[in-house]
Structure 1
Amino acid sequence: MLRGLAEGCLAVQGRGGDWEAAAREHAALAGRLDTCKGRAAYAVLDGLLRFHRRHPGATARLAAPSGGGTACAYGITGADAGEDGTVRPGETVRVHLRGAYFDPAELPRDGGVSVGGVPVPGPPVVAARSGDRLTLAVLVPALPADPAAPVDVRVRLGAAEAVLEGAFRIAGVASPQPSPAAS
């Protein structure tokens, strides 16, 4: 993919490049990319080739789009917490991510996962990966819990954070409260 994109970028700028090589790679990759970065690069190559078909002899100066945005819509799509949506401290929950633009090996080193505002014990484990989708296996931390109150799950890598609000409830023993009769 990168070779075709490079060829198209060079060619549209009049700095060499090979339109045929770019078109061959574009055709070979149609419908085959399974990552957000791959799909974004493919869309750029597609735009370059369409520009070339409309203006075969033209060149253009490439620039970043105004307003920016990202190629990957990184986020949490769900958390498996059983049928009743309640887990216990020490149980493993699977957290599903989409748009993971990073190498999963970076997560334990440069990021982390928290449940209900408490970091999970130990590093998250990548349980499955398909394209830009990851499933993390995380241990539920012990924390005073109100079984009726759902907790948030946060997955952070550097400055990027994905949040799933109200992901599940944690069954546990809340801090004991003194009874009014004991005073």
Structure 2
Amino acid sequence: MSSANPGVPPLIVMGVQGCGKSTSGRAIAEALSLPFIDGDDLHPLSNKAKMASGHPLTDADREPWLAAIGTALAEGLSRGQSTVIACSALKRRYRDLIRSFAPRTRFVHLAGNRGLIAERLSHRNHEYMPPALLDSQFETLEPLEADEAGIPVDINLTPEEIAAVVATALTSR
């Protein structure tokens, strides 16, 4: 709904930690001339502290965060602008909650194998997401279902290639 890209829906770049949501999300936003928000920035301090201590979030912990993400998408749309947000969105019910704020939202699922992601995590130092939480992320992950508006993308691609795949998928529909 941006003037540069009328009809481009709000996008959530989703997946487990270390799959490249923020980096690829920025590349997608740049390719589509849309604003980008890192969903990590919308977590309350209590969530960040819990994850930093090595404890996975509960659904109750995530609910206000997911509502903040949905609100950010809806606020963008109210200004006539779609937004790209990096957000794990691991469960269907999380995605449904986000869609309750912005029904046209499309989900870009950055998918890859655990070994590759664990390797990537060994080379980064995240503010509050220790690599020890990777297993809980994979246990929680519910891949996109056939009735969900989504674009699955292989994380073996570069962020620029991921952005090109997403742009092509959005314009070919």
Whether the TM-score (by the shorter chain) exceeds 0.5 is: no
Q: TM-score, normalised by structure 2?
A: 0.24
Q: TM-score, normalised by structure 1?
A: 0.23
* Larger helix percent: 2
Higher relative contact order (CA 8 A, sep 6+): 2
| Greater Rg by CA | 1
